Chain A
Amino acid sequence: MTSSGGPDRASGGPATNAPAIPELGAGIQLTDVGRAFGPTVAVQGVTLTVPMHGHLAIIGPSGCGKSTLLNLISGLDDPDEGSIEVLGATSPADRLRRCAWMPQRDLLLPWRDVLGNAALALENQGMRRKAARTQVAGLVERFGLGSFERKLPHQLSGGMRQRVSFLRTLVAGKEVLLLDEPFGALDSITRADLQQWLRSALATEPRTTVLVTHDVEEALLLGSQVIVMSARPGRIAAHYDTDFPAGASRRELLRLPEFTELRDELLARLEEAS
């Protein structure tokens, strides 16, 4: 929360710094949320709370409605039952204003270089192209992409592209980040590298995040709470709060007995759920 470093964010967004939010408790609140597509019930009776700057990780078998849940929170979709509150906003349009969504594939614009892709949200918010590029340059530099800022996406590696995609999401200046299997398409070495990177990125740029993943380790590394969802209809099967030392590196965490214990338990719950 100590953003004294002056992160290059969009000005005027509803959620820039912590003091701007009236109550620090309310991040995301879902109450008895259900959504069906025709006869298929995607999610049912989902109730959960993510505090401000909390990190929720959702794991579950494929087809358990994880992505549906993200769409519902983001305001891209609206639930059939129940209510969703994101920083006090309930209508889909208002939720959309508070959430930034990052899909599994990087979906960078191939004709824009790294700076141009990162600056996309600022341009959408009405900033001039040049000013937007200058503004994101600092952030691009800080997240280790400085020497690539003029490269086009096809000149970057998959991990690099995903970093740019995350920066693009971050630059939107939204309080809530919704990450839909952000590293699912990467090889395991790159993924481990990016998990570490994302942990430190979120430490310097605290946001309320919801992360969907099928990787139990990733959920434990990046989530301060983890929920396991069951398959069709998607319900919350189990809920865990993690409490690992904040400063620990990925490798240190993986060696902790508490970590491996919780990982085994989550794997067991995941097997039950599918």
Chain B
Amino acid sequence: MTPAQGSPPRTEPAAETSLAGKAARADIRRGTPAWRRILPPALVLILVAAVWDLVVHLAHVQDYIFPSLENVFRSLYKNWSSVLGSATWVTFQEMLFGFLISIAVAVIIALSLHSSATLRAAIYPLLIGSQAVPIVVIGPILAIIFGYGITPKLIIVAISCFFPIVVNLVDGLASVDPDLIKVMRTLDGSRLATLFRVEVPSALPSFFSGMRIAAVYAPIGAVFGEYAGSQNGLGYVLIQATPQLNTDLVFAAVLLLTVMSILLFVLLSFLEKICCPWAGKGKK
């Protein structure tokens, strides 16, 4: 009798705490504290590094074939002020400005493709064709035309990056619910109002997906541009160091490229969170 009477008030706080626990867990998932997001990739990196060093040491691999991780870092430290620092800065500028140009070009192309079916039919094959042209071939031609300066690199980075942005942005603009377009028409929305109040905001998440893919291509474009002719940059370091069997320097340069690529990617993800806080919510 007594325990039966006593049980309801006892279960209630229990239910409450479990609810609160659930809410807290949901909060963590939504807000995700930094250490929780960083821990898994950090662990994987440490694991890869450990396997790397273990293999190199156990198999007695020569440094010029496959350097150990500490030699890569030693080379990074040793060559930073003389070679790598300025090379990273040069490549960083080529990547960043080339990427910005590609965004501007992609937005213009995507908006014009979206605005007219005729333009879409006329331009799309050309765009796809442009991706089939090997950048290795364009590089030297651009170097002949524009010289060893930054211009040919910007063009190559922009060419490598714009395509995924255009495709994703066009898809995003076109994927708005047709009923919503009808609603806008009966709410006195002009085509321009529909574009800027409905289509552009709903395309933002796809736009960011496109930019994240493009961010991965940006360093590749910059290195190809430098291969075709340059006086500085990480690509330049790579062509110099490879035939010299200076493999730890090669790896150090690649490491820097990787880090820049990841940083650009992370920056874009961060911007996306700020620009479209609604994305992925409300779909139960």
Q: Interface residues, chain A, CB within 8 Å of chain B?
A: 74, 76, 96-97, 99-103, 105, 107, 109-111, 120-121, 123-125, 152-154, 168-169, 172, 174, 178
How far, in angstroms, from A107 to B202 measured CA to CA in the complex? 12
1/0 per position for B195-217, CB-CB distance to A under 8 A? 00110011000000000000000
Q: Are A103 and B193 in contact (CB under 8 A)?
A: no
8 Å CB contact of B185 from A76, A110, A125, A174: A76
Report the separation of the CA atoms of residues A96 and B183 in the bound assembly, to the nearest whole angstrom: 11
Which residues of the partner chain A approach B202 to less than 8 Å between Cβ atoms? 109
B29 at interface by CB-CB < 8 Å: no
With A120-B197, A124-B193 as known contacts, state yes or no: A107 contacts B179, CB within 8 Å. Answer: yes
- Asked, given contacts A107-B177, A107-B179, whether A124 binds B186 with beta carbons under 8 Å apart, the answer is no
User: Cβ of A124 and Cβ of B278 under 8 Å apart?
Assistant: no
Count chain B residues whose beta carbon lies closer than 8 angstroms to a beta carbon of A.
21
The residue of chain B having its C-beta at the shortest distance from the C-beta of A152 within the complex is B278
Cβ-defined contact, B281 with A172, below 8 A: no
User: Please, which residue of chain B has its CB at the minimum distance from the CB of A180?
Assistant: B179
A-chain residues with CB within 8 Å of residue B189 when the two chains form the complex = 120, 124
Contact present for A101 and B188 (CB under 8 Å): no
Chain B residue, CB-CB nearest to A13: B188
Q: How far is the CA of A120 from the CA of B198 in the complex (A)?
A: 10
Question: 26 pairs across A/B with beta carbons < 8 Å?
Answer: A74-B186, A100-B187, A101-B182, A102-B183, A103-B179, A103-B183, A105-B177, A105-B179, A107-B177, A107-B180, A109-B198, A109-B202, A110-B278, A110-B281, A111-B278, A120-B184, A120-B187, A124-B187, A124-B188, A124-B193, A124-B197, A125-B188, A152-B282, A154-B281, A172-B188, A178-B186
On chain A, the residues within 8 Å of B193 by CB distance are 123-124
- Contact: B186 with A101, CB < 8 Å? yes
A182 to B18, CA, bound (A): 37
Docked CA distance A74–B188 (Å) = 12
**A107 vs B282: C-alpha distance when bound (angstroms):** 12
Task: Select A76's contact among B186, B188, B281, beta carbons within 8 Å.
Answer: B186
Q: From B279, which residue of chain A is reached at the shortest CB distance?
A: A110
Q: Determine whether the beta carbon of A96 is less than 8 Å from that of B186.
A: yes
The SS class assigned to the B binding surface is helix
Binding site for A on B (CB under 8 A): 177, 179-180, 182-190, 193, 197-198, 201-202, 276, 278, 281-282
7 additional contacts (CB under 8 A) given A76-B185, A125-B188: A74-B186, A103-B182, A107-B177, A107-B183, A109-B197, A153-B282, A154-B281
Listed residue (B188, B190, B197, B282) with the most chain A CB atoms within 10 angstroms of its CB: B188
Name the residue on B nearest A77 (C-beta). B182
| A96 and B185 within 8 A (CB) | yes
Separation of A103 and B177 alpha carbons in the complex (Å): 12
With A109-B201, A124-B190 as contacts: A76 and B282 at CB distance below 8 Å: no
Expressed in whole angstroms, the minimum distance between the Cβ of A261 and any Cβ of chain B is 36
B180 touches A172 (CB 8 A): no
| CA A169 to CA B189, docked complex, whole Å | 12
- State the Cβ distance, B230 to closest chain A Cβ, in Å: 43
Chain A residues within an 8 Å CB radius of B183: 101-103, 107
Distance in Å from the Cβ of B113 to the closest Cβ of chain A? 23
Point out the residues of chain B lying under 8 angstroms from A121, CB to CB. Answer: 187-188
Q: What is the bound-complex CA distance between A101 and B181, given in angstroms?
A: 11
CB distance from B47 to the nearest CB of A (A): 38
Contacts of A99 in B (CB 8 A): 186
Task: List chain B residues, Cβ under 8 A from A168.
Answer: 187
CB distance from B30 to the nearest CB of A (A): 12
Across the interface, do A154 and B278 meet the contact criterion of CB distance under 8 Å? yes
**Minimum C-beta distance from B121 to chain A (A):** 24
- A124 and B184 contact, CB distance less than 8 A: yes
